[in-house]
Chain A
Amino acid sequence: MSITNLLENWSDFRQQHPSDDRPHREYKWAMSIDLDACTGCNACSVACYAENNLPVVGKEKFLHGHSHHWIRIERYWANDGREFADQGAQFLPMLCQHCESAPCETVCPVGATNHTADGLNSQVYNRCVGSRYCNANCPYKARYFNWYDYPTTDNVWPEPMNQQLNPDVTVRGKGVMEKCTFCVQRLTVAKSNARSEGRSVLDGEVQTACQQVCPTGAISFGNLVDPLAKVGKQWMTQQVDLNKDKQAKDVAEEAAKLRGYRILEELRTYPSVMYLEQLREGSI
Chain B
Amino acid sequence: MIENSFNRRDFLKVLGWGGATVALSGCGNTSVEDGREFVTSYVQTADYIIPSIGTYFNSTCAQCDAGCGIMGRVREGRVLKLEGNPKSPTSVGKMCGLGQAGVQAHYNPDRIREPLLRNGDKGEAITWEKALALINEKIGGVKAENIAFLTGGVSGHVKVLLKNYLDALGSGHHYVYEAVAPSIMRAANKKAYGVEMPRLRLDKAKVILSFGADFLGAWVSPVHFSQQYARFRKADNGKRGVLVQVESKMTLTGANADRWLAIRPGTEGILALGLINALSTAGLSVSGDVVAVVKEYTTDRVSKDTGVSAEHIAKLAALLKERSPSLIIAGSAAEGYAHGSQNAAAIALLNQVLGNVGKTVEGSSGIPFPQMAPTTGNRQALQALNDNMAQDKVKVLFSYGSNPVFTAPASMKLKENLKKVPFKVAFAHYMDETAVEADLVLPLNSALEDWGTVMPEYVADGAQLSIRQPLMEKLHPGTLGMGDILLALLKQRRPNEYKGYEDFYSYLRNAMVSNKGALGGADADDNTFWDAALSHGMVKLAGSPVNISSHVSVNGLVVPAPFAEDSAYPLHLIPAVSASLRDGRNANEPWLQESPDPLTTIVWDSWVEMHPKTAAKLGIVEGDIVEVASKSGAIKAQVYVFTGIHPDVISVPLGYGHEAMGRYAKGVGVNAFKILDPIFDKETGELAMHETRVKVSKAGQRVIIVKDEGPAGGQQMGRKIAVRMSSDKVNLSKEV
Q: A residues within 8 Å of B by Cβ?
A: 34-37, 39-43, 45-47, 49-51, 56-59, 62-63, 67, 69, 72-79, 82-92, 155, 158-168, 209, 212-218, 230, 233-234, 237-238, 256-259, 261, 263-264, 275-284
Interface residue range, chain B: 35 or more
Contact between B252 and A87 (Cβ–Cβ < 8 Å)?
A: no
Contact between A46 and B595 (Cβ–Cβ < 8 Å)?
A: yes
The 9 closest A-B pairs by CB, nearest first: A215-B226, A46-B97, A59-B604, A216-B230, A281-B258, A90-B722, A279-B727, A92-B722, A89-B255
A-B contact pairs, 28 of them (CB 8 A): A39-B253, A40-B255, A41-B217, A45-B595, A46-B101, A50-B101, A56-B590, A59-B605, A62-B706, A78-B724, A85-B250, A85-B643, A88-B245, A88-B255, A155-B590, A164-B79, A164-B103, A217-B94, A217-B227, A264-B721, A277-B724, A278-B725, A279-B727, A281-B240, A281-B258, A284-B259, A284-B316, A284-B319
Cα separation A230 to B221 with both chains bound (whole Å): 29
Neighbouring A residues of B726 by C-beta, 8 Å: 279-282
Main secondary structure of the interface of A (DSSP, over half): loop
Contact between A256 and B259 (Cβ–Cβ < 8 Å)?
A: no
Contact among A41, A58, A212 with B579 in the assembled complex (CB-CB below 8 Å): A41
Q: Cβ of B598 < 8 Å from any Cβ of A? A: yes
Neighbouring A residues of B222 by C-beta, 8 Å: 41, 215
Asked, given contacts A76-B715, A216-B230, whether A40 binds B252 with beta carbons under 8 Å apart, the answer is: yes
Asked, given contacts A41-B579, A42-B579, A47-B95, whether A167 binds B52 with beta carbons under 8 Å apart, the answer is: yes
Comparing B81-89, B267-275, B297-305, B505-513, the segment that makes contact with chain A is: B81-89
Contact between A43 and B28 (Cβ–Cβ < 8 Å)?
A: no
Residue of B nearest to A89 (CB): B255
Contact between A74 and B720 (Cβ–Cβ < 8 Å)?
A: no
Contact between A67 and B594 (Cβ–Cβ < 8 Å)?
A: yes
Cα separation A151 to B597 with both chains bound (whole Å): 26
Neighbouring B residues of A82 by C-beta, 8 Å: 643
Contact among B81, B217, B580, B731 with A50 in the assembled complex (CB-CB below 8 Å): B81
Contact between B262 and A86 (Cβ–Cβ < 8 Å)?
A: yes
Cα separation A263 to B722 with both chains bound (whole Å): 8
- Give the distance to chain A from B129, nearest Cβ to Cβ, in Å: 26
Q: Cβ of B714 < 8 Å from any Cβ of A? A: yes
Contact among A230, A238, A263, A281 with B721 in the assembled complex (CB-CB below 8 Å): A263
Cα separation A47 to B97 with both chains bound (whole Å): 7
Contact among A35, A74, A159, A257 with B109 in the assembled complex (CB-CB below 8 Å): A159
Cα separation A41 to B598 with both chains bound (whole Å): 6
Per-residue CB proximity of B92-117 to A under 8 Å, as 1/0? 01111111110110111100000000
Per-residue CB proximity of B681-692 to A under 8 Å, as 1/0? 000000000000
Contact between A257 and B594 (Cβ–Cβ < 8 Å)?
A: no
Residue of A nearest to B73 (CB): A166
Contact among B101, B714, B720, B730 with A261 in the assembled complex (CB-CB below 8 Å): B720
- Give the distance to chain B from A36, nearest Cβ to Cβ, in Å: 6
Cα separation A40 to B720 with both chains bound (whole Å): 18
Cα separation A83 to B252 with both chains bound (whole Å): 19
Contact between B604 and A89 (Cβ–Cβ < 8 Å)?
A: no
Residue of B nearest to A59 (CB): B604
Cα separation A261 to B223 with both chains bound (whole Å): 28
Cα separation A162 to B75 with both chains bound (whole Å): 14
Contact between A257 and B599 (Cβ–Cβ < 8 Å)?
A: no
Asked, given contacts A86-B260, A88-B257, A281-B727, whether A39 binds B234 with beta carbons under 8 Å apart, the answer is: no
Contact between B95 and A280 (Cβ–Cβ < 8 Å)?
A: no
Q: Cβ of B522 < 8 Å from any Cβ of A? A: no
Residue of A nearest to B643 (CB): A85
Asked, given contacts A50-B82, A160-B475, A163-B107, whether A237 binds B734 with beta carbons under 8 Å apart, the answer is: yes
Contact between A56 and B591 (Cβ–Cβ < 8 Å)?
A: yes
Neighbouring A residues of B599 by C-beta, 8 Å: 75, 89
Neighbouring B residues of A73 by C-beta, 8 Å: 596, 598, 708
Contact between B259 and A163 (Cβ–Cβ < 8 Å)?
A: no
Contact among B27, B98, B216, B258 with A280 in the assembled complex (CB-CB below 8 Å): B258
Contact between A41 and B226 (Cβ–Cβ < 8 Å)?
A: yes
Q: B residues within 8 Å of A by Cβ?
A: 26-28, 52, 75-76, 78-84, 93-101, 103-104, 106-109, 216-217, 222-223, 226-227, 229-230, 233-234, 240, 242, 244-245, 250, 252-262, 312, 315-316, 318-319, 475, 579-580, 590-596, 598-599, 601, 603-605, 613, 642-644, 663-664, 668, 704, 706, 708-709, 714-716, 719-731, 734-736
Neighbouring B residues of A276 by C-beta, 8 Å: 735
Contact between B724 and A213 (Cβ–Cβ < 8 Å)?
A: no
Contact between A91 and B93 (Cβ–Cβ < 8 Å)?
A: no
Neighbouring B residues of A85 by C-beta, 8 Å: 250, 255, 260, 642-644
Neighbouring A residues of B28 by C-beta, 8 Å: 160, 162-163
Asked, given contacts A42-B97, A46-B591, A59-B706, whether A76 binds B716 with beta carbons under 8 Å apart, the answer is: yes
Neighbouring A residues of B729 by C-beta, 8 Å: 256-257
- Give the distance to chain B from A251, nearest Cβ to Cβ, in Å: 15
Neighbouring B residues of A164 by C-beta, 8 Å: 78-80, 103-104, 106-107
Contact among A58, A79, A91, A259 with B643 in the assembled complex (CB-CB below 8 Å): A79
Cα separation A73 to B96 with both chains bound (whole Å): 14
* Besides the known contacts A76-B721, A160-B109, 7 further A-B residue pairs in the complex with CB atoms under 8 A apart: A49-B594, A59-B603, A62-B604, A72-B708, A75-B714, A87-B258, A280-B258
Residue of A nearest to B315 (CB): A284
Residue of B nearest to A220 (CB): B736
Contact between A278 and B81 (Cβ–Cβ < 8 Å)?
A: no
Neighbouring B residues of A86 by C-beta, 8 Å: 259-262
Neighbouring A residues of B99 by C-beta, 8 Å: 43
Contact between B255 and A281 (Cβ–Cβ < 8 Å)?
A: no
Contact between B722 and A278 (Cβ–Cβ < 8 Å)?
A: yes
Contact between A216 and B227 (Cβ–Cβ < 8 Å)?
A: yes
Neighbouring A residues of B722 by C-beta, 8 Å: 35, 74, 76, 90-92, 275, 278
Cα separation A46 to B99 with both chains bound (whole Å): 9
Cα separation A283 to B321 with both chains bound (whole Å): 13
Cα separation A258 to B735 with both chains bound (whole Å): 9
Neighbouring A residues of B590 by C-beta, 8 Å: 56, 155
Contact between B719 and A277 (Cβ–Cβ < 8 Å)?
A: no
Cα separation A165 to B81 with both chains bound (whole Å): 9
Contact between B108 and A75 (Cβ–Cβ < 8 Å)?
A: no
Interface hub of B80, B98, B253 (most chain A Cβ within 10 A)? B80
Neighbouring B residues of A76 by C-beta, 8 Å: 714-716, 721-722
Residue of B nearest to A72 (CB): B708
Cα separation A218 to B26 with both chains bound (whole Å): 37
Contact between B731 and A282 (Cβ–Cβ < 8 Å)?
A: no
Cα separation A217 to B721 with both chains bound (whole Å): 21
- Give the distance to chain B from A53, nearest Cβ to Cβ, in Å: 10
Contact between A84 and B723 (Cβ–Cβ < 8 Å)?
A: no
Contact among B316, B594, B643, B724 with A62 in the assembled complex (CB-CB below 8 Å): B594
Neighbouring B residues of A280 by C-beta, 8 Å: 258, 724-727
Contact between A230 and B706 (Cβ–Cβ < 8 Å)?
A: no
Cα separation A51 to B103 with both chains bound (whole Å): 11
- Give the distance to chain B from A16, nearest Cβ to Cβ, in Å: 28
Residue of B nearest to A216 (CB): B230
- Give the distance to chain A from B68, nearest Cβ to Cβ, in Å: 10
Contact among B96, B233, B720, B736 with A230 in the assembled complex (CB-CB below 8 Å): B736
Asked, given contacts A62-B604, A76-B714, A257-B729, whether A217 binds B257 with beta carbons under 8 Å apart, the answer is: no
Contact between B78 and A163 (Cβ–Cβ < 8 Å)?
A: yes
Asked, given contacts A86-B262, A87-B259, A160-B475, whether A213 binds B226 with beta carbons under 8 Å apart, the answer is: no
Residue of B nearest to A44 (CB): B97
Neighbouring B residues of A277 by C-beta, 8 Å: 723-725
Contact between B252 and A257 (Cβ–Cβ < 8 Å)?
A: no
Cα separation A256 to B731 with both chains bound (whole Å): 11
Cα separation A63 to B601 with both chains bound (whole Å): 12
- Give the distance to chain A from B220, nearest Cβ to Cβ, in Å: 14
Neighbouring B residues of A257 by C-beta, 8 Å: 729-731
Cα separation A50 to B315 with both chains bound (whole Å): 45
Cα separation A206 to B381 with both chains bound (whole Å): 48
Asked, given contacts A37-B233, A163-B78, A212-B93, whether A90 binds B595 with beta carbons under 8 Å apart, the answer is: no
Cα separation A40 to B107 with both chains bound (whole Å): 27
